[in-house]
Amino acid sequence: MTLMSKKLETFTESIPTTDDTLKMRTEGSKRILLELKEDPKKALVYAKKYNELVSDIASIIKSEYLNKPIMSGTAAERKEREEQFINEVWGMMISNLDIKYGKSKSGFLYGALERGIFDCDTSSFLVYDVAKELGINIEIVKVPKHAFVKMDNFCFETTGGIYAPTNLLSSAYPINQILKEDQIQSITYSCRGDVYFSKGEYDKAIRDYNRAIELNPKDADAYSNRGNVYLKKEDHNKAIEDYNKAIELNPKDAEAYCARGIVYFRKGEYDKAIGNYNRAIELNPKYVDAYSGRGTAYGAKGNYDKAIEEFNKTIELNPEFADAYNNRGYCYFSKGDYDKAIEDYNKAIELNTKFASAYYYRGIAYEAKGNYDKAIDDLIKAIELNPKYGDAYFNLGYTYNHKGKYDEGIKYYTKAIELNPKDADAYNNRGESYFYKRDYNKAIEDYNKSIELDPTNASPYDGRSNTYEKLGKTELAKKDREMYKKLKQ
């Protein structure tokens, strides 16, 4: 193997001019200019480096290995040179560039150059541009969650060095797209959208997915990924529209079914959620998240036995899945089996010591068993991990009330109200704390507020009735007692 004249180096050279940098109109340089649109100087440096890399590889292959134009000669000769090109470009990229194939952390081609770690689409761009420089017929093929290149005779998996006859493409990948030249950059926009999504810049991600779809309307992954953004933004209807389209384009996309199940779950449409999880599991019988989601949906329907079966399967497939233990614990708690619930919460915490929800629910289980001190310890830990955990403050207030420590109860109910000023139950329970402290006027204020927020809740009428009796306001007490009985019917 002939060594290349250059390897990837740190980019300390001077900034080139635009004309010099873009002398070669490679798809990779176009991609880098898009990736680094907000930093033009850096973009030009990387674009130039990329073009030099393409030129170096092409020159070596042409001078050392391909002594004839690859497209000349008989069909057998062209096939032989095409296969030789694949072997040489693969060997050169591995041996001379120190390229390590794997998932690019940034999803960007300039990042792949920087770290020497290429994924399927960044390596496909490189091979595509080298082939174009040599006059080889080549196209980029987009399949679900993946990309590679296709020549006249072979499809080449650029991340594994594997290639196969082109006529096997459809049997190996029934859903495939051979991208036109003006569609290639759809991959760039989609990858940049992925990066913006991971950074929480959802509007930017949506703009990039929009552009990817505009360039390639049949890109199921772009629809699915845009749906994920809408799910994060809690725009459930738009998320469902995108998942519908992704599934229309790729009916075997288990992830899209699972994601659509999540949306339906959040909309409270549990049967539709279960239907989507069912389909995801049919497509992928080892899909852990789908079993977990289906268990959560059954739990929300109150079918705790069925939910436990689903979480058992989840744990069988992934014994390190802390959420599954936490959710199964909730089901046991709901069935009144507090000891089993605590066992599951213990395991969830063992797997994830910063799992605020597991501490919270274990605290509730201890509270239900009457072990208030352990309940308090867990609820305080939950708040330490998540200082905005309103339910934890609420239940701390509840637990302290049971211990007769009403000042502490008031303190935590007040914090719960600060976090959620529309929490009618927190006002009701704080009113109860004031009642037991014989601060009847403050108790009335809280019961009034609770009723204002939720006039259908019987409890504050009961509490206010008792308070009016203590204040000697018997008619008001009687009126509240009648309302309490009416609501309890």
In this predicted model, what pLDDT tens digit does every residue of 359-369 receive, in sequence order? 999 999 999 99
Asked if 436 and 484 sit in the same domain, the reply is: yes
Helix (H) or strand (E) holding 147: strand 146-151
In whole angstroms, give the CA distance from residue 262 to residue 269.
10
Which residues, at least 6 apart from 381, have a Cβ–Cβ distance to it below 8 Å? 356, 359, 363
Max Cα distance, the chain (Å): 109
In this predicted model, what pLDDT tens digit does every residue of 330-341 receive, in sequence order?
A: 999 999 999 999
Does the structure show a pLDDT above 50 at 92?
A: yes
Which of 105, 98, 89 has its CA nearest to residue 161? 89
Q: What is the pLDDT of residue 39?
A: 92
Q: Tell me, yes or no, whether 155 lies in a domain.
A: yes
Instruction: Name the residue range of residue 440's domain.
Output: 388-489
Instruction: Output the domain CATH number for residue 248.
Output: 1.25.40.10
Asked if 131 and 240 sit in the same domain, the reply is: no
Pairing of strands 117-118, 100-101: parallel
In this predicted model, what pLDDT tens digit does every residue of 422-478 receive, in sequence order?
A: 999 999 999 999 999 999 999 999 999 999 999 999 999 999 999 999 999 999 999
Asked if 163 and 203 sit in the same domain, the reply is: no
CA distances from 161 to 49, 71, 120 (A): 24, 22, 11
In whole angstroms, give the CA distance from residue 156 to residue 148.
6
Q: Is 439 helix (H, G, I), strand (E, B) or coil?
A: coil
What is the CB neighbour count within 10 angstroms for residue 54? Answer: 24
Q: Tell me, yes or no, whether 89 lies in a domain.
A: yes
Asked if 39 and 143 sit in the same domain, the reply is: yes
Q: Is 164 helix (H, G, I), strand (E, B) or coil?
A: strand
Asked if 178 and 145 sit in the same domain, the reply is: yes
Mean pLDDT on 386-392: 97
What does DSSP assign to residue 16? P
Asked if 107 and 72 sit in the same domain, the reply is: yes
pLDDT band at 145 (very low <50, low <70, confident <90, very high): confident
DSSP letters spanning 336-368: T-HHHHHHHHHHHHHH-TT-HHHHHHHHHHHHH
Asked if 213 and 133 sit in the same domain, the reply is: no
Specify whether the CB–CB gap between 352 and 358 falls below 8 A: yes
- Could you tell me what percent of the chain has a pLDDT over 70? 91
Which residues, at least 6 apart from 349, have a Cβ–Cβ distance to it below 8 Å? 355, 358, 359, 362
DSSP letters spanning 399-414: HHHHTT-HHHHHHHHH
Asked if 440 and 473 sit in the same domain, the reply is: yes
- Most confident region among 1-10, 18-27, 85-94, 288-297 by mean pLDDT: 288-297
Which residues, at least 6 apart from 361, have a Cβ–Cβ distance to it below 8 Å? 326, 329, 330, 333, 341, 345
In whole angstroms, give the CA distance from residue 13 to residue 395.
62
In this predicted model, what pLDDT tens digit does every residue of 27-85 receive, in sequence order?
A: 999 999 999 988 999 999 999 999 999 998 888 888 876 666 666 678 888 888 888 88
Q: Tell me, yes or no, whether 480 lies in a domain.
A: yes
Does the structure show a pLDDT above 70 at 386?
A: yes
Mean pLDDT on 142-170: 90
Q: What is the pLDDT of residue 215?
A: 95
Quote the Cα angle for 108-112-116, to 5°.
170
Q: What is the pLDDT of residue 6?
A: 31
Which residues, at least 6 apart from 347, have a Cβ–Cβ distance to it below 8 Å? 322, 325
What is the CB neighbour count within 10 angstroms for residue 165? Answer: 10
Mean pLDDT on 394-403: 96
Mean pLDDT taken over the chain: 90
What is the CB neighbour count within 10 angstroms for residue 487? Answer: 14
Does the structure show a pLDDT above 90 at 9?
A: no
What does DSSP assign to residue 139? E
Asked if 210 and 164 sit in the same domain, the reply is: no
In whole angstroms, give the CA distance from residue 93 to residue 158.
10
Asked if 455 and 477 sit in the same domain, the reply is: yes
Q: What is the pLDDT of residue 68?
A: 63
Pairwise pLDDT comparison (24 vs 304), residue with the higher score: 304
Asked if 484 and 413 sit in the same domain, the reply is: yes
Asked if 65 and 118 sit in the same domain, the reply is: yes
Q: Tell me, yes or no, whether 257 lies in a domain.
A: no
What does DSSP assign to residue 8? -
Which of 161, 183, 205 represents a domain boundary (last residue)?
183
Write 254-259 long-range contacts (CB < 8 A, 24+).
254/279, 254/280, 254/281, 254/283, 254/284, 254/287, 254/290, 255/224, 255/280, 256/220, 256/224, 256/227, 257/283, 257/290, 258/287, 258/289, 258/290, 258/293, 259/224, 259/227, 259/228, 259/231
pLDDT band at 17 (very low <50, low <70, confident <90, very high): very low
pLDDT band at 381 (very low <50, low <70, confident <90, very high): very high
Q: Tell me, yes or no, whether 179 lies in a domain.
A: yes
Mean pLDDT on 191-196: 91
pLDDT band at 135 (very low <50, low <70, confident <90, very high): confident
In this predicted model, what pLDDT tens digit does every residue of 251-297 receive, in sequence order?
A: 999 999 999 999 999 999 999 999 999 999 999 999 999 999 999 99
pLDDT band at 343 (very low <50, low <70, confident <90, very high): very high
Which of 141, 159, 183 represents a domain boundary (last residue)?
183
Q: Tell me, yes or no, whether 400 lies in a domain.
A: yes
Pairwise pLDDT comparison (103 vs 347), residue with the higher score: 347
In whole angstroms, give the CA distance from residue 335 to residue 1.
68
Q: Tell me, yes or no, whether 238 lies in a domain.
A: yes
Q: Tell me, yes or no, whether 156 lies in a domain.
A: yes
Q: What is the pLDDT of residue 463?
A: 97
pLDDT band at 2 (very low <50, low <70, confident <90, very high): very low
Number of domains in the chain: 3
Q: What is the pLDDT of residue 306?
A: 98
In this predicted model, what pLDDT tens digit does every residue of 210-248 receive, in sequence order?
A: 999 999 999 999 999 999 999 999 999 999 999 999 999
Which of 183, 217, 235 represents a domain boundary (last residue)?
183
